[in-house]
Amino acid sequence: MSEKKAILAVSFGTSHKETREKTIGAIEEDMRRRFPDYQVRRAFTSGMIMRILRERDGIQVDNVAEALKRLADEGFDQVVLQPTHIINGDEYDKLMRQARECQSLFHRLNTGKPLLTDSADYEAVCRAIMGEFSHLKKDEALVLMGHGTGHFADAAYAALDYRFKALGAENVFVGTVEGYPGIEEVRGQVRKYSPRRVILLPLMVVAGDHAVNDMAGDEEDSWRSVFEKDGYETRCVLKGLGEFPEIREIYMEHILKAAKQQG
């Protein structure tokens, strides 16, 4: 008897419907095309987002444990759990704890890696973003705004910035809202480069609240406002990384590796 196989796509989540379908939805559709023998299911890790969707929109999204138990009840015995998270931080640790608790429910349960995990991932992400902004001029700076975290995985953002420079992208800068490098460190680097224009892009799967408010908002402490005060012509690109096909392809490769581990 053939095994029932599923991919559980695990995202932090977003309450913004439009960006959810363009990003998380697009990643899940790529999973269905690339892995037709697997059913694709969705789970979120943010309790706040799940509560908003349930109370405001009447949409029920399972957390990891709920989704895995549902798959087990439906007779799935081979599951690949693939996070869409950027780094191996708190949210990834949380989903791994929930996955371990459900390990015994399946014949095989393997977990793929977040976007920035091994050295090859960093180069692939840099090249994907550089490809999307191949038109970037020498007098322009591309500033990527990541989330940041108190988790030790916060080091991934500085490592990504370093990798851009190593690949020759001297005018690409990586910063975070809640970690390091922060806006002040990025401002200092941009000031040294002295561009005419600053282009802001969220280093997040979805262009949600942080992108709309912290990056592109009208408040005086938004990144757009800060760089405009510094005298730069500033443009915001409200696109999540999930909208970029080459970024989605990295997730597909992570699923492939996890599926091969299952034999």
Residue 147 is a catalytic residue: yes
CB 206 within 8 A of CB 23: yes
147 is in an annotated binding site: yes
Q: Which two tokens stand for residue 193?
A: 């480069």
Which segments within the chain are labelled E, that is strand? 5-11, 39-44, 78-83, 108-111, 140-146, 172-176, 197-202, 233-236
Q: Which of 16, 85, 135, 147 is catalytic?
A: 147
Closest among 258, 205, 242, 249 to 81, alpha carbons compared? 258
151 is in an annotated binding site: no
Q: Look at the chain and count its residues.
A: 263
210 is in an annotated binding site: yes
Which residue's entry shows tokens 């949600």?
A: 208
d(CA 240, CA 12): 13
Compute the CA torsion angle 126, 233, 216, 141 (nearest 10 deg): 10
User: How far does CA 262 lie from the centroid of its chain?
Assistant: 25
Binding site membership for Co(2+): which residues?
Answer: 147, 178, 210
Binding site membership: which residues?
Answer: 147, 178, 210
Question: Which active-site residues does the annotation give?
Answer: 147
